[in-house]
Structure 1
Amino acid sequence: MTTHEPHDQTILITGATDGLGRALAHRLAAQGATLILHGRNPAKGKALLTELHDRTGNDRLTFEQADFASIDQIRALADRLAGRDRLDVLVNNAGIGVETAPQRSADGLELTFQVDYLATYMLSCLLTPLLARTAATRSTTTHPAPARIVNVSSAGQSPLDFDDVLLERHWDGVQAYCQAKLAQIMLTFDHAELLRDHGVTVNALHPASYMPTKIVTHLFTVQSTLEEGVTNTARLVTDPTVAEVTGAYFNRARPARAHHQAYDAAARTRLQELSRHLTGVPFPTAPLQAV
């Protein structure tokens, strides 16, 4: 079991300027973590850094801008981060909710699938070597120091139709959101298996239902507090009791069963192939440096 505390971690949070990501940044900054905070709006990023510093005194905070509607910007973000000395935790939190009309990304892809899933796929794959190196340099024989990937998914999950994943024949906002969230969980399972012996854990969670965030309040009635979602997410980021748990999906704080397609190895392979085709980023392969 790792004994490392948040103040000894470097943590990347995507989608950190609003909602759950912003609230999580506040909690972790107060605990002294070194934070890399991602957003697409530089002005909001600058304001967040000032606010966090003023409230917590933490000066180990940086902002990274990237619009996940652009595959080139996602890749550029990963390239910048890959040059850092260390990364202990990647929190793939950025996303859009249920849209009321179809939208395409700068790359011509269905926007929800790109922002909610393909960005998670790209960052997870491209930052795998850095996460594995960080785990290796911090490991000892008696205290392995796992790095962590936490994918903020949802209990709303729908199977992917591989004949129309980009919903070109029939677009539906709920399907777009729910299939992207299931795709995150499918990636979680494959990535966890790859990294099982390399000091990096990979888990996904549904943090809470209908929290008061901007992707919820325009369509749905609030059911949970933001604090509940932050607590459940922070647990997977920092709690030593789950340091060696990997390849799991949590509904709030409890292990749960995802949609059955997530356990279909053939479907996960098809998703890997599709993801590589759409992004140009291959799924990582062994050998990585073992710890």
Structure 2
Amino acid sequence: MKKRLIGGIVAAAILIPTAAYAAPTLIEMFTRTPMTAEQVKTDEVGKATLENLYSTFPETKSFEIIDASNVQGVQTSIILQEKEGTGKKITLHTNSITGAIEHVIQENWEPKEKPLNTLSDQEIKSKVDYLIDKMYGNIEEYEFALEKMENPDQKTFMLNYTKKGSKTPFYQVFVQSNTISVSLIGGEITPSNIKVEGLFSRDGKPDYSADAYLNDAELFSLLKISPEELKQELAKGKSVVEIAASKNVSKQQVIDVIAKTQVEGQIQGEINGEVPKSNRSNEQQLKAIEPKVLQIIEHKNETPSKK
């Protein structure tokens, strides 16, 4: 239970970090504050992210920071590219609260003459395995599944890496053209607090990104709703905010309940040594997690009529 709650903060609330694969992500609803290269290098989260990257891929030390930004203390994003400006590029989205790199997008690391989408399934898996292994560690314990997506514009693959006994991917990867996009979902073996999985959906497939937030006993109590009923209402295209309003519950009440559960999980994780200790106060952590909670409770599933 503790790990899943922590996962709500540590893991991404967005499965796909780039519009190249889907509609604009939830986090893009919020204002990004641009950062200069110097600001990135002196920022605590930015500096740690770069150090992680440089130790993993030493060649990136010569790359230029071509873009960087921060979203309301929730996410720090950095894009680096070879100095020629036409070669390898890598994008990192880091959780500003925990320092976990939640998304990695690697572009043009394969020769133009033989891009990723021309490789065999096994070759693609080998490339993805290498990236995950370098960024996050050994993946031998994960079960693997590759699926070719229905994309009329260009060949797209989805790869899921899942721990045995879990339905939720730990890593979800999209490969398209000459790009690998890895998302750290952090799916664990389904604990008792996860009553319903895949509360949201994307392109007709379960989206597990909000499960660790919305499977909250206090939220169910506040809304006087069961987990199954919540999933049914979300499937109709309603947001959690709209469901709450129909029950005379305010948006702020919903935010407060979910944020409190998430921060309590984070604090417990720090005590257990499962996540890095934060130097922020309880109040600061609550404030920092609010924008991410807001993304989720205002999000709506796509319904057939909206497509």
Is the TM value for this pair above 0.5?
no
In terms of fraction of residues, the more helix-rich structure is 1
- TM superposition score normalised by structure 1: 0.30
Larger radius of gyration: 2
